[in-house]
Amino acid sequence: MSADLHVHSAHSDGTNTPEEIVKLAKNAGLKTIAITDHDTINGVSCAQEAGKFNGLEVIPGIEFTTEAYGAEIHMLGYFIDIKNITLLQTLDKIQKGRVDRIYKIAEKLRALGLNIDADKIFEIAKNESPGRPHVAKALIAAKEVSTFKEAFDKYIDFNGPAYVSHYKLAPNEAIKLITDAKGIPVLAHPAASDRDEVIPDLIKEGLLGLEVFYPSHRWQQTKKYKDLAKVYGLLITGGTDFHGENSGREIKFGDLTITDNLVEKLKNEYIRRNRS
Ligand code: AMP
Ligand code: FE
Ligand code: FE
Ligand code: ZN
């Protein structure tokens, strides 16, 4: 039995519903998953309900997109209280920023001569946390590009001509929000952010874990982050960053798992911090 603690549903940029995810995870022989949608917790309760029915443990989670040190830094939060008012209010603000941004991206794309419309993007996203993958899908549907990669490479990558930022928290704000909602903050895919030098600062802000096991980590990186976690006494997590079937990513449940022992440690820390 094993676990996958990084999963996106159709409530952000995944392609599967929480119910479908639970079935897929169960069929792959997993014992535990965490739903970690970008800037939303809307998929958590459905997944938990389906999990109870199917005998799969579903940890409530989130993945915040934050920005600092000239980079995008993703912050995972595990065991968050999804009814926490400050958390919900902040998510509402971030989601409104994401919606405004889609209008701006569509405008930029149209100025570049592309046939694209914000409403088409919202139709594809069908959720409160729309993002660039939905823009990419709309560009493919409009036959302006033929692949996700082309959409990002030509237009919407961080340095692309149609890139637009959106309201984001700083990493320390995300850490505080997660902790105040009783959750455990974990730095997502640290190699992708490429800001290892700020890990000590994030720890001072309350960071409690590192996502050591991640599909794009080479074994040297996995070892480096495992050693860092040991040196700093951080929890270790990992997951596939599953974005669903037909999401353009080949990874599927079971391709990368972590041991139940790591999940136990995460859970014990959550219990220890929230006792009394
Ligand atoms: P957003 O949160 O709207 O800025 O979109 C970020 C999401 O886009 C990430 O979570 C990935 O799922 C996806 N993404 C980012 N860069 C790429 C890329 N180069 N190719 C495909 N998908 C990407
Ligand atoms: Fe994503
Ligand atoms: Fe991420
Ligand atoms: Zn993710």
Q: Which residue of 132, 140, 158 sits with most ligand 1 atoms within 8 Å of its CB, as the best mutation to test the pocket?
A: 132
Average pLDDT (87-99) is: 98
Categorize the per-residue pLDDT at 246 as very low, low, confident or very high, splitting at 50, 70 and 90. confident
What 3-state class would DSSP assign to 246? coil
Bigger pLDDT: 275 vs 243: 243
Q: Is the pLDDT of residue 256 over 80?
A: yes
Locate the ligand 1 atom nearest the alpha carbon of residue 135 and give its number. 3
Portion of the chain with pLDDT greater than 90, in percent: 96
Structure tokens of 11? 């409530």
Neighbours of 192 (CB within 10 A): 16
Q: Quick check: 127 and 42 in contact, CB under 8 A?
A: yes
Question: Is the pLDDT at 270 greater than 90, yes or no?
Answer: yes
Decide: pTM greater than 0.85.
Answer: yes
Residue 276: pLDDT band (50, 70, 90) is low
Distance CA 59, CA 162 (A): 36
Angstrom distance (rounded) from CA 30 to CA 51: 11
Query: What DSSP character marks residue 163?
Result: -
Q: Residue 36's closest CA among 3, 67, 68?
A: 3
Which of 13, 134, 146, 156 has the most ligand 1 atoms within 8 A of CB, as the residue to mutate? Answer: 13
Higher pLDDT, 1 or 272: 272
| Shortest-distance atom of ligand 1 to CA 72 | 4
Confidence of residue 249 (pLDDT cuts 50, 70, 90): confident
Overall residue count recorded for the chain in this entry: 276
Cα–Cα distance for residue pair 37/167, rounded to 1 Å: 17
User: How much is the pLDDT for 1?
Assistant: 74
CA 243 / ligand 2 centre spacing (Å):
7
Write the pLDDT tens digit of every residue in 206-227. Answer: 999 999 999 999 999 999 999 9
Cβ neighbours of residue 223 under 8 Å, at least 6 residues apart?
none
Over residues 179-197, mean pLDDT? 97
Q: In the prediction, which pLDDT does 248 show?
A: 83
Question: H or E segment at 267?
Answer: helix 260-274
Q: Whose CA is nearest to atom 17 of ligand 1?
A: 152
Between CA 20 and CA 25 the distance in angstroms is 9
CB 7 within 8 A of CB 214: no
Q: Mean pLDDT throughout 252-259?
A: 98
Q: What is the pLDDT of residue 247?
A: 87
